Amino acid sequence: MLITPAPCPDTKAVPFARHLAAFGDRTALLTHDGEVSYRELAARVADTARRLGDGRRLVLLAGAHTVDALVTYLAALCAGHPVLLVPGDNPGALGSLTAAYDPDVVAAADQQGTWTIHERRAGSAHTLHEDLALLLSTSGSTGSPKLVRLSHDNLQANAGAIAAYLGIRADDRAVTTLPMHYCYGLSVINSHLLSGAGLVLTDLSVADACFWDLFRETRGTSFAGVPYTFDLLDRVGFADMDLPHLRYVTQAGGRLAADRVAHYAALGRRRGWDLFVMYGQTEATARMAYLPPERATSHPHAIGIPVPGGSFRLQPHPDWPEPDTGELVYSGPNVMLGYAEDPADLALGRTLGELHTGDIGRRTPDGLYEVVGRVSRFAKILGLRVDPERVESTLAGHGITAYCAGADDRLVVAVLGGTDATRVRRLVARDCGLPPRSVHVRIMAELPRLPSGKPDYRALREPAPEPPARSVPSPGEPVDATRLCRLYAEILDRADVTEDSSFTSLGGDSLSYVEMSLNLEQLLGPLPPHWHTLPIRDLLRPEEKRSPTGRARRLPGIRTLDASIALRALAIVCVVGSHIPVFHIKGGAHLLLAVAGFNLARFHLTSAGRRDRARHAGRSMLRIAVPTMAWTALMLLVTEDYGLPTLLLFESFLPPRPDHIAPFWFIEVLLFLLIAVVALLSLPAVDRLERRYPFGLPMTLMAAGLLTRYDVLGLREHIHLPSAVVLPWLFALGWAAAKASTARQRLLVTAAALATVPGYFSGEPAREALIMAGFVLLVWVPSLPSAAPLNRVAGVLAGSSLYIYVVHWQVFPRLDHISGWLALIASLVAGVAYATVAARLTRAVPAWRRSRA
């Protein structure tokens, strides 16, 4: 057997790190730069091991999904140097653990992304036990000085056990979905390298379409997920994806609901892959139990059976007197040596022989184990284990009195009034390694207590009323993430905005898009393309766009105007001007209908879950219907122009009357189509179909809409066909335009428009030309060169277009006899004024309700 040469062959080491060369020319790593064979990997590991030297030293390694990080990790294990593995994306954790443990060598990427190995001293400042191989923070406590001490045998045994029960083969390729510093993510690396299998190194999220392109291109066979990962899989339509090489999916890092286990197990059975539900802790290197896939559908509550070489016993617990129930105590070769809380503990050998998990378990009659409770208050948040007591202690060290509890997939922190909630969230997120959106800070007059005086953590877990909306930032305030979060919260009326939020994730729509873009442009200058999909934090630095391989491309920063905003502004001016008339440029309303379909797809058909999509779209429909009906109700009191059908937005569905046009036909058609689309996508099967074929579905609906567009069935001779039944093809074309991601798709949707618009308005070629020209612009020119004043004017008109359309019917008849241009300007000004009043009322009413609550 070929063995990687090591500078200190008599030193204890992890066997699989020394035996890489035995797998020869098999592919070990796949990256955006190419493939690395095991032979090449072994050579690089040997070179780095020689650089680390003969004498054992403590190596602090900033984990990352890069070849350099992996080579350094393997080189240290190969040469017997203990590794302190920290998150590479958390400078705070790296700094605090460097200060606490004074490593001899620090390996990390610098600010330019260059990998460096910094030798802080020639020898070691520590006494290192001969069995010590790896130091890990318990998952979630990434900045804590309390570490888990793992031996060479721990790593080898657990990697072997995992490889055995998963049946990892030489041709398997696992895609990295979890951080290297997280024991679950590291176990994927170890078990595949032990087996001579391949690793696809990437930082892409499963929510990113590029991830699945990479998965298919590299012939991925497995990936790992925590419970939150499966929420993301639901959103991206994983159930209908074509993944021909997928063999199995693993789940750990917290309990996945039993119904979700059963669902994914059944899905895997249908699609030809297995679901492995697993149970583990960092203190057991990674894994202690797994649920055989064939038993997942019948026993979705179970954690399964011990991994090969391990065993459980149930230690009776006074709070759980039921038979065959007690604290799960695990024994096996993967149980840690013990904890380390300071550098002196690195000299310790084994200090415990079995692991008290802190979980209350039950053994079922058929030999499976289930977790039914907890001994302590530890919580699993997004797969990370968090100690609420430690969070309270950390905040106390900053002079903040707080109660902390885990609730679902969030950490709730209650603090007294006068405390800066943003500072608390930042401190907790940084200390626990959680995303800020998972830390919910409650400002309370008094912290909740039980009659005994003890903290009332149950009350803390109860849902809290929404806090008052935050005000718009004042001029002169520094432009930072906090200010942008306040702006998003105000405009979108959301109290849960964090730096990781984006416009689309917060439910932004076409109406708020214009207002938000104008405000952001005033604060930040030119906005990058697709700014509405970017997290707030990324708006504050030069934008980068990632290719499917993970490489970055710089986005242009010239001042431009979004084409959809320009078209909305132009169309509403054309509509009002033609109604007066001061000119005859028709087709604006129909162009707006195509833009509405485009904006529906852009803002609402995102990767969010099915219910979130429906909720966001419903909010947008209310923002269209309520102002229209409110204005109509007011006009019913002062004029005789409108009737009950107009108020109910149903007039265009009635047979037409001579010399009368339903004034709000466009709004009625738009609402009808939005309701129909939301109802259609509320069906799980259609929702999955849309996620799998985002362009194909609207094109199919467009083709179906041509039945009424051309009246193929001859219905016009017998019944009245309202515009809402005739125009869906145009709305669907706009939808498809937003989802066209390739030149071929854009050509197809353009050709469909150019083929179907002509002839719709018999004898009005100019009207049809306006619609086609605007549509081509929407498809092929996402943004237009512009200037700041023009952006502001177009933004105000586009943002107020609905309100201008609603009020202009009552404004221009009172002025057109004086001057048509005066009537046009007055209609636009009145619409903008109504939009301003409506926006203030929209924000004031929820704030008033919250203050009353």
Q: Which residues of 127-150 are buried (b: 16+ CB within 10 A; e: fewer)?
A: ebbebbbbbbbbbbbbbbbebbbb
> For residues 811 and 640, which has the higher predicted lDDT (pLDDT)?
811
Q: How far apart are CA 93 and CA 116, in angstroms?
A: 18
Do residues 76 and 192 touch, judged by C-beta distance below 8 A?
no
Q: How far apart are CA 83 and CA 58, in angstroms?
A: 6
| The pLDDT value given to residue 7 | 57
Q: How far apart are CA 525 and CA 515, in angstroms?
A: 15
DSSP 8-state class, residue 476: T
Do residues 649 and 628 touch, judged by C-beta distance below 8 A?
yes
Give the list of residues 6+ apart from residue 278 with CB closer than 8 angstroms, or none. Answer: 250, 251, 252, 287, 289, 290, 291, 303, 304
Residue type, 104: D
User: What is the share, in percent, of the chain residues with pLDDT greater than 70?
Assistant: 89
Residue type, 146: K
In this model, does residue 32 exceed pLDDT 70? yes
CA distances from 212 to 27, 198, 203, 242, 387 (A): 20, 17, 12, 9, 34
| E strand or H helix at 444 | strand 439-444
| The pLDDT value given to residue 464 | 58
To the nearest 10°, the Cα dihedral for 825, 826, 831, 835?
Answer: 100
| The pLDDT value given to residue 553 | 36
- Where are the alpha helices (H) located in 13-151, listed in sequence order? 15-18, 38-52, 67-79, 91-101
What average pLDDT does the segment 558-577 reach? 86
| The pLDDT value given to residue 512 | 76
| The pLDDT value given to residue 251 | 96
For the chain, give the mean pLDDT.
86
| The pLDDT value given to residue 470 | 40
What average pLDDT does the segment 532-537 reach? 79
Mean pLDDT is lowest, of 248-252, 648-652, 699-703, for 648-652
| E strand or H helix at 669 | helix 665-681
Residues listed for the chain: 853
What average pLDDT does the segment 15-36 reach? 95
Among residues 265, 286, 278, which one has the least CA distance to residue 185?
286
pLDDT in tens, 597-606: 998 888 888 7
Q: In what order do the strands lie in the sheet with 402-407?
A: 402-407, 410-416, 439-444
Among residues 362, 404, 367, which one has the least CA distance to residue 387?
404
DSSP 740-794: --SHHHHHHHHHHHHHHSTTSSTT-HHHHHHHHHHHHHHHH-SEEE--HHHHHHH
Predicted confidence band of residue 459 (pLDDT cuts 50, 70, 90): confident
pLDDT in tens, 105-153: 999 998 888 999 999 999 999 999 999 999 998 754 456 788 999 999 9
Among residues 642, 605, 133, 590, which one has the least CA distance to residue 346?
133
Structure tokens at 523: 């604060």
Neighbours of 714 (CB within 10 A): 7
> Can you tell me which residue has the tokens 């909306």?
469
Among residues 663, 670, 665, which one has the least CA distance to residue 731?
670
Mean pLDDT is lowest, of 3-7, 167-171, 406-410, 765-769, for 3-7
Mean pLDDT is lowest, of 191-200, 510-519, 621-630, 732-741, for 510-519
Predicted confidence band of residue 590 (pLDDT cuts 50, 70, 90): very high
HSE-up (13 A, CA, CB side) for residue 237: 20
CA distances from 518 to 526, 779, 792, 796 (A): 10, 23, 7, 9
Do residues 187 and 158 touch, judged by C-beta distance below 8 A?
yes
In this model, does residue 476 exceed pLDDT 60? no
> For residues 155 and 94, which has the higher predicted lDDT (pLDDT)?
155
In this model, does residue 473 exceed pLDDT 60? no
User: Given its phi and psi angles, is residue 744 left (phi above 0), alpha (psi -120 to 50 degrees) or beta?
Assistant: alpha
DSSP 8-state class, residue 247: -
DSSP 302-362: EEEEEPTT-EEEEE-BTTB-STTEEEEEEESTTS-SEEESSGGGGG-----SSEEEEEEEE
In this model, does residue 515 exceed pLDDT 50? yes
Q: Look at strands 27-31 and 34-37 and give their pairing.
A: antiparallel
DSSP 8-state class, residue 803: H
Q: What kind of fold does domain 15-373 have according to CATH?
A: Rossmann fold (3.40.50)
Do residues 121 and 102 touch, judged by C-beta distance below 8 A?
no
> For residues 333 and 658, which has the higher predicted lDDT (pLDDT)?
333
| The pLDDT value given to residue 9 | 58
To the nearest 10°, the Cα dihedral for 242, 246, 252, 256?
Answer: 40
Give the list of residues 6+ apart from residue 739 with CB closer than 8 angstroms, or none. Answer: 601, 605, 694, 695, 698, 745
Domain boundaries, the chain: 15-373, 379-461, 563-839
Structure tokens at 11: 């030193």
Angle at 713 between CA 710 and CA 716, to 5 degrees: 75
Q: How far apart are CA 582 and CA 825, in angstroms?
A: 11
| The pLDDT value given to residue 544 | 38
Structure tokens at 125: 């400042």
In angstroms, how far is CA 35 from the centroid of its own chain? 29
Name the 3-class secondary structure at 147.
strand
**Thinking of the domain 379-461, which architecture would CATH place it in?**
2-Layer Sandwich (3.30)
pLDDT in tens, 669-678: 999 999 999 9
Q: How far apart are CA 396 and CA 96, in angstroms?
A: 18
| The pLDDT value given to residue 659 | 61
Neighbours of 449 (CB within 10 A): 12
Predicted confidence band of residue 511 (pLDDT cuts 50, 70, 90): low
Give the list of residues 6+ apart from residue 500 with CB closer than 8 angstroms, or none. Answer: 435, 436, 437, 535, 536, 537
pLDDT in tens, 366-376: 999 999 877 76
What average pLDDT does the segment 794-805 reach? 90
Q: Look at strands 355-363 and 147-151 and give their pairing.
A: unpaired
**61, β-bridge pairs:** 85, 107
> Can you tell me which residue has the tokens 């109290």?
495
| The pLDDT value given to residue 658 | 66
DSSP 8-state class, residue 296: T
In this model, does residue 462 exceed pLDDT 90? no
Among residues 546, 512, 542, 515, which one has the least CA distance to residue 528?
542
Q: How far apart are CA 616 and CA 358, in angstroms?
A: 41
Backbone angles phi, psi at 640, to 5 degrees: -115, 20
In this model, does residue 751 exceed pLDDT 50? yes
Structure tokens at 373: 């409770």
In this model, does residue 469 exceed pLDDT 50? no
Predicted confidence band of residue 556 (pLDDT cuts 50, 70, 90): very low
